[in-house]
Chains A and B, each alone.
Chain A
Amino acid sequence: MAYNLKATTEKPERLTGGHRMCAGCGAPIVVRTVLRALKPEDHAVIGSATGCLEVSTCLYPYTAWKDSFIHSAFENAGATVSGAEAAYNALKRAGKIDHTTKFIAFGGDGGTYDIGLQSLSGAMERGHDMVYVCYDNEAYMNTGIQRSSSTPKYADTTTSPAGKAVPGKPQFKKDLTQIMVAHNIPYVAQSAPFKNFKDLYEKAEKAIYTPGPAFLNVFTPCPRGWRYNTPDLFDIVQLAVDTCIWPLYEVINGEYKLSYKPKQKLPVEAYLKSQGRFRHLFAKENMHMVEELQQEVDRRWNHLLKLCGETE
């Protein structure tokens, strides 16, 4: 069925208000959308790696999740949810369960790009019927904005502070989506909460209902860590996709498909200027760094265009 925003509003809300994420946080926006993609009649078992989302949505004695939710550790959301899926299959085979349950793991970039990478890799390789969703906000926000392997180059974080000695994080961002593509699983996609949410909703639906393992990497702004005013979230997402810093695409059984090509590709400056974590780059002596970031974004974008069979 074609995507229709109004129809999606009629589905049950599976993440309640009253959770303790910061005002304006991108993560619950991503989570709500992913959960709306579930069929209302299906049950879900959700697990989360340690991170803002986990600690703020499930604060004893309150849970914001309408579905079963498992609190796991930083490194094992993939293992925990894959284990639940295996148990479900065994019970189903024994005739002890007749409803359908879907399995979804959420992790931030710290729990996914870094600490939980091995358990994620294992869960995908073993072929569990589950989805792993990374809400990528590009640093360890929960513990106070420490850099992760997902933090973009030159971003100011508390462990890569921009100053005289270093101009923010010295390394480029890891390309986790490509690492997941290399697992040769049926479905991998990169998405963002964007425009009317068609992109994220449809990718979540495909990820959940494609049999076997699936991985979604979702761009998730963090007003506190990125230093912008909370109402600007969707302007920042738009800039991220229009500068090609965060391309939207999917890989279905190894076939690449570009989901969005900006009509006019914007210079990275427009995106960098929107956030305090990059402010130091606009000092006169640092402008060459903006140029360097532009070259890397162009290199990765052109490579992706080739993979998707598109040409500039």
Chain B
Amino acid sequence: MKKKMNVTAESSWKEVTPGGVITESGNAGDFRTGDWRSMKPVWNSEKCKQCLMCFPVCPDSSIKVCNGKMEGIDYDHCKGCGICAKVCPFDAIDFVEE
């Protein structure tokens, strides 16, 4: 994993930013939570009707929508909760073992 802000568990106190401030916004995106998965959502583009219901329900911002179109799943961050698969009205997302 990429170490951001050059601060790691091994860093000395001198390398820690004053006040514990995180100077980069939204850098949690560099942290992969995808390896938490035991189950995996699999999107089936032929079945997808582009209703976008899967988009707002994802706790991990892992439904990739570009220009109003569902384009797939961000497996770097998806934790495999299965909410998107259950919510999809067209059964276009399978939920399978990782």
Residues of A near any B CB (own CB < 8 A): 5-6, 8-10, 13, 15-29, 32-33, 36, 57-68, 193, 196-197, 223, 229-235
Given the known A-B contacts A9-B52, A10-B67, A32-B56, are A18 and B29 also in contact in the complex, defined by CB atoms under 8 Å?
yes
C-alpha gap A26/B81 in the complex (Å):
11
A sample of 10 inter-chain contacts (CB < 8 A) reads A6-B68, A17-B29, A18-B29, A18-B31, A23-B81, A231-B82, A231-B95, A233-B57, A234-B57, A235-B86
Contact between chains at A29 and B80 (CB < 8 Å)? no
C-alpha gap A19/B82 in the complex (Å):
17
Chain A proximity mask over B32-72: 1 for CB below 8 Å, otherwise 0: 11001100000000000000110111111110010110000
Given the known A-B contacts A16-B61, A18-B33, A29-B57, are A61 and B22 also in contact in the complex, defined by CB atoms under 8 Å?
yes
Given the known A-B contacts A25-B59, A26-B59, A230-B83, are A67 and B25 also in contact in the complex, defined by CB atoms under 8 Å?
yes
Report which of A21, A33, A57, A63 forms a contact with B56, defined as CB distance below 8 A. Answer: A33
Query: B20 interface residue, CB < 8 Å from A?
Result: yes
Expressed in whole angstroms, the minimum distance between the Cβ of B40 and any Cβ of chain A is 12
Query: B27 interface residue, CB < 8 Å from A?
Result: yes
Contact between chains at A24 and B30 (CB < 8 Å)? no
Expressed in whole angstroms, the minimum distance between the Cβ of A34 and any Cβ of chain B is 11
Chain A contacts of B79 at CB under 8 A? 22-24
Residue from A5, A62, A68 whose CB has the most chain B CB atoms within 10 Å = A62
Chain B contacts of A18 at CB under 8 A? 28-33, 60, 76-77
Expressed in whole angstroms, the minimum distance between the Cβ of A50 and any Cβ of chain B is 15
Chain A contacts of B92 at CB under 8 A? none
Contact between chains at A19 and B56 (CB < 8 Å)? no
**What are the 8 A-B residue pairs with the smallest beta carbon separation, nearest first?**
A17-B77, A24-B81, A231-B82, A23-B79, A64-B28, A18-B28, A231-B86, A18-B31
